[in-house]
Amino acid sequence: MTETLIRIENLKMHFPIYKGTLRRKEVSRVKAVDGLSFDILKGETLGLVGESGCGKSTTGRAIIQLHRPTEGRVLFGGQDLCTLSEKQLHPLRRNLQMIFQDPYGSLNPRMTVGNIIGEPLKVHNLAEGQGIAKRVQELMEIVGLDPRFIRRYPHEFSGGQRQRIGIARALACEPSFIVCDEPISALDVSIQAQIINLMEDLQKEFGLTYLFIAHDLAAVRHISDRIAVMYLGRLAELADGKDIYENPLHPYTKALISAVPIPDPEIELKRERIVLTGDVPSPLNPPSGCVFHTRCPFAEERCKREVPAIKQAAPGHFVACHLVEGQVVDAAVVDQLEKRTMGDKPVDRDQAVASAAVNQTVNETKEEAVV
């Protein structure tokens, strides 16, 4: 669990806006993603949450180079994907797959299920002739579709079944990493659980790594090992799923968690709710300093001026907020995490916390000594 699969360094994805017909001039930029750094660990599910327009989908697409990032590095297997040409990228793409939100728009209505699932096999020359059909039927079996339906068209399937087709297609060339962009939000509640369980089973079976993008915090918490919270193109907080829920540090995370309704009237009655005022500002013209300061109930003067650095408040718990105490780490967030889990052997969590506490006391005594 501790090996880094993909490292994202200072990822920026800006979309230029042009004006003028003859002399097109760049007038401004939508800063959809503005300086993200984190690691995706092998075999984990990293949840990426945020409100619409916060850049979470753009991040997913930029990582697998569906958008070519404006700046930054995406390191996968020792290579920086951003510097590779399309031709160089092609063989790598079989490792990087995607499951889309819309099970209607993401399947070609004129192709049969067999062709849809088999296409990646042809593109990457992984099978030929009868081999393709055999593999497709195998994949259909894996995702819980009847292999007899291989010649049917997408419109003959329900939403949940179409999502299974999309999943089978993503699995076709045995990828190591799948970006799941809101894979369940278009489905009915009773079907969502089927797809979530399927994705969990597949992960176990094939050792997949997921980047699970969704706005539904409850679903993300359920499926993810670690969760990254984004706001306006920046990272607000990144921590273990349990920590994010039980001990959120960023005011935005707190508000987000308190806003998610829980299906239990008694709990709902007792919960304290932080209702944020106002809307998410435009990424065209993001606020100065901390991008969240315009809606933050705890904002101070410096929040308007200074961009908060990323701090490590507890081992593996990263947060970008002036009001949170913690050790400032440089942009490469997970370097710290790596140190914690050095030598490939998983470090006991309690032990890590304890050693952090020891470090702290050591630091304190040092300071005293200086004084």
| Residue 1 binds to another protein (criterion: CB under 8 A) | no
Q: By C-beta, is 92 or 191 nearer to another protein?
A: 191
In this chain, which of 3, 26, 174, 201 binds another protein, going by CB under 8 A? 201
Q: Residue written as tokens 């109930």?
A: 297
145 binds another protein (CB under 8 A): yes
For the beta sheet containing 4-19, the strands, ordered from the edge strand earlier in sequence to the opposite edge, are 25-41, 4-19, 71-76, 79-80
Instruction: Tell me whether residue 74 is exposed, middle or buried, using C-beta atoms within 10 angstroms of its C-beta: 0 to 12, 13 to 18, 19 or more.
Output: buried
Tokens 């079944």: give the residue: 161
Residue 17 interacting with another protein (CB under 8 A): no
297 touches another protein (CB under 8 A): no
Q: Shortest gap between Cβ of 188 and another protein (angstroms)?
A: 4
Residue from 171, 280, 313, 334 that binds another protein (CB under 8 A)? 280
Helix 159-171 and helix 130-142, axial crossing angle in degrees, nearest 10 = 130
Task: Please state the closest distance from residue 249 (CB atom) to another protein, in A.
Answer: 17
Q: Is 363 in the site for another protein (CB under 8 A)?
A: no
Nearer to another protein, 21 or 52 (CB): 52
238 binds another protein (CB under 8 A): no
Amino acid identity at 351: Q
> Does residue 217 belong to the site contacting another protein (CB under 8 A)?
yes
DSSP state at residue 24: -
What separation in angstroms does the CA of 167 have from each of 49, 209, 223, 269? 21, 14, 16, 39
Q: Which is nearer to another protein, 145 or 238 (CB)?
A: 145
As measured in angstroms, the least distance from the Cβ of 288 to another protein is 21
Which CB atom, from 43 or from 144, has the smaller least distance to another protein? 144
The residues in 245-274 that bind another protein, with binding defined as CB under 8 A, are 245, 255-268, 273
Residue 158 near another protein by CB under 8 A: yes
Sequence-distant (6+) residues with CB within 8 A of 209 are 5, 6, 40, 41, 42, 43, 44, 45, 46, 176, 177, 178
Q: Cα–Cα distance between 163 and 160 in angstroms, integer? A: 5
Please identify which residue in 52, 83, 85, 130 interacts with another protein, judged by CB under 8 A.
52
Q: Are 330 and 343 a contacting pair, CB within 8 Å?
A: no
Judged by CB under 8 A, the stretch of 98-106, 123-131, 171-179, 239-247 that binds another protein is: 239-247
Which H, E and C letters describe 291-355, residue by residue?
CCCCCCCCCCHHHHHCCCCCEEEECCEEECCCCCCCEECCCCCHHHHHHHCHHHCCCCHHHHHHH
Binding site for another protein (CB under 8 A): 51-52, 141-146, 158, 160-161, 188-194, 196-198, 200-201, 215-219, 221-224, 241-242, 245, 255-268, 273, 275-277, 279-280
